[in-house]
């Protein structure tokens, strides 16, 4: 028992150290976002910060006599439009594809599914040059529709794979029973199968949203002006040839982090259900 207790203490200590190392960069970003710029650059370092909201007020132009240097409001709008639109389209297309792979038989089904999965294995950075050439010829450079199409294409394969697995775990007899009772194919899907697959759809939605919200490599190549830049690309506006506005960059990074945490917290029940779905047989 003494050895078991010692092992538990050592495991707990190791987990605490690892969690601290993981959370420390995020905590430092949070503290820097609320600190005056003088404290960030002070030598020796200021270990007890003086927290203030002036950095965020200046970022959104709420302070008098302070010129708005970075159009954060436009970047927030662009990120929301691109992320939400691409997520909805990826869910609609991916759910339809996942349901088709799970419930129907058609020619070259296995090869097509493998092709979708292999396309997801290609790094986004490797696509930047061919996408830039193609998008420039189509006139989609520096446009929100251009980014939306790219993120939909990136998220559809994963959505198909995830929803296919969920629909396969739902007994097909449930939909058949609904059809016998007079329901159409769409009614059986929407009233019977869709509610059972909500956990998988929530997981796919979070993944698709975070992919579009946090992506930088492709967005930096396909955007140029304020009209299309997203928040991740806008972070670079706080850098110049000789200086870096660490306070502004950390404040904007915090704005990027908060919606991701908030979304995950809101749908955590569906995420947990998604991880445990199918683990217990009725």
* Tens-place pLDDT, residues 231-276: 999 988 888 777 788 888 898 999 998 888 887 777 766 665 555 5
Residue 281 pLDDT > 50, yes or no? no
**Adjacent-strand bridge partners of 239:** 244
Average pLDDT on 156-184 reads: 86
* Domain identity same for 236 and 207: yes
| 116 occurs within a structural domain | yes
* Domain identity same for 102 and 48: no
Mapped onto helix, strand or coil, the DSSP state of residue 144 is helix
Average pLDDT on 86-112 reads: 90
Which residues, in sequence order, are CB contacts of 205 under 8 Å at separation 6+?
87, 91, 267
Give the CATH number for residue 160.
1.10.3720.10
Residue position matching structure tokens 């710029």: 37
Here the tokens at position 243 are 């200086």
Instruction: Note whether 28 and 21 are within 8 A (CB).
Output: no
Residue 278 pLDDT > 50, yes or no? no
| 44 occurs within a structural domain | yes
195 to each of 14, 32, 85, 189, 208, how far by Cα in Å? 40, 43, 22, 9, 20
Q: Tell me the torsion sign for CA atoms 222, 260, 190, 172.
A: positive
Instruction: Note whether 251 and 33 are within 8 A (CB).
Output: yes
Taking alpha carbons only, the member of 12, 166, 178 closest to residue 103 is 166
* CA–CA separation, 16 and 19 (whole Å): 5
* Domain identity same for 271 and 180: yes
* Domain identity same for 50 and 98: no
DSSP assigned state of 44: S
pLDDT tens-digit series, residues 120-138: 888 877 888 899 999 999 9
* CA–CA separation, 24 and 183 (whole Å): 54
pLDDT of residue 68: 65
pLDDT of residue 280: 40
* Domain identity same for 164 and 201: yes
* CA–CA separation, 47 and 55 (whole Å): 19
| 201 occurs within a structural domain | yes
| 64 occurs within a structural domain | no
* Domain identity same for 107 and 23: no
* Mean pLDDT estimate for the chain: 84
DSSP alpha helix (H) spans, the chain: 2-33, 37-40, 54-59, 72-103, 109-120, 128-138, 144-169, 172-180, 185-188, 194-196, 198-214, 217-222, 231-234, 246-266, 268-276
* CA–CA separation, 145 and 129 (whole Å): 18
The total number of structural domains that make up the chain: 2
pLDDT of residue 156: 92
* CA–CA separation, 246 and 249 (whole Å): 5
Q: What is the pTM of this model?
A: 0.83
Domain containing 168 equals 72-276
* CA–CA separation, 114 and 124 (whole Å): 19
| 211 occurs within a structural domain | yes
* Domain identity same for 55 and 183: no
| 65 occurs within a structural domain | no
| 240 occurs within a structural domain | yes
* Domain identity same for 80 and 21: no
* Domain identity same for 219 and 79: yes
* Domain identity same for 86 and 15: no
| 67 occurs within a structural domain | no
Confidence of residue 90 (pLDDT cuts 50, 70, 90): very high
* Domain identity same for 173 and 211: yes
* Domain identity same for 168 and 258: yes
Rounded to whole angstroms, the maximal C-alpha distance in the chain is: 76
Q: Which region among 66-75, 88-97, 103-112, 115-124 has the lowest average model confidence (pLDDT)?
A: 66-75
**Adjacent-strand bridge partners of 244:** 239
DSSP alpha helix (H) spans, 66-108: 72-103
């Amino acid at each position: 028992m003494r050895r078991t207790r010692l092992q538990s203490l050592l495991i707990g200590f190791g987990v605490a150290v690892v969690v601290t190392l993981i959370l420390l960069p995020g905590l430092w970003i949070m503290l820097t976002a609320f600190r005056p710029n003088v404290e960030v650059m002070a030598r020796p370092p200021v270990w007890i910060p003086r927290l203030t909201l002036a950095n965020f007020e200046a970022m959104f132009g709420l302070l008098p006599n302070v010129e708005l240097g970075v159009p954060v409001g436009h970047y927030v709008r662009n990120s929301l439009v691109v992320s939400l639109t691409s997520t909805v389209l990826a869910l609609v297309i991916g759910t339809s594809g996942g349901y088709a792979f799970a419930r129907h038989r058609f020619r070259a089904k296995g090869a097509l599914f493998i092709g979708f999965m292999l396309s997801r294995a290609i790094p986004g950075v490797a696509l930047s040059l061919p996408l830039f050439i193609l998008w420039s010829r189509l006139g989609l450079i520096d446009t929100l529709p251009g980014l939306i199409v790219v993120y939909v294409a990136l998220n559809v394969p994963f959505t198909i794979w995830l929803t296919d697995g969920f629909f396969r775990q739902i007994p097909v007899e449930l939909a058949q029973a609904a059809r016998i009772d007079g329901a159409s194919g769409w009614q059986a899907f929407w009233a019977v199968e869709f509610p059972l697959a909500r956990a998988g759809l929530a997981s796919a939605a979070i993944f698709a949203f975070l992919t579009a919200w946090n992506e930088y490599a492709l967005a930096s190549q396909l955007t140029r002006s304020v009209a299309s830049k997203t928040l991740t690309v806008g972070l670079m506006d706080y850098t110049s040839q000789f200086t870096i506005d660490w306070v502004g960059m950390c404040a904007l990074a915090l704005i990027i982090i908060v919606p991701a945490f908030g979304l995950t917290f809101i749908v955590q029940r569906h995420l947990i259900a998604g991880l445990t779905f199918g683990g217990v047989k009725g």
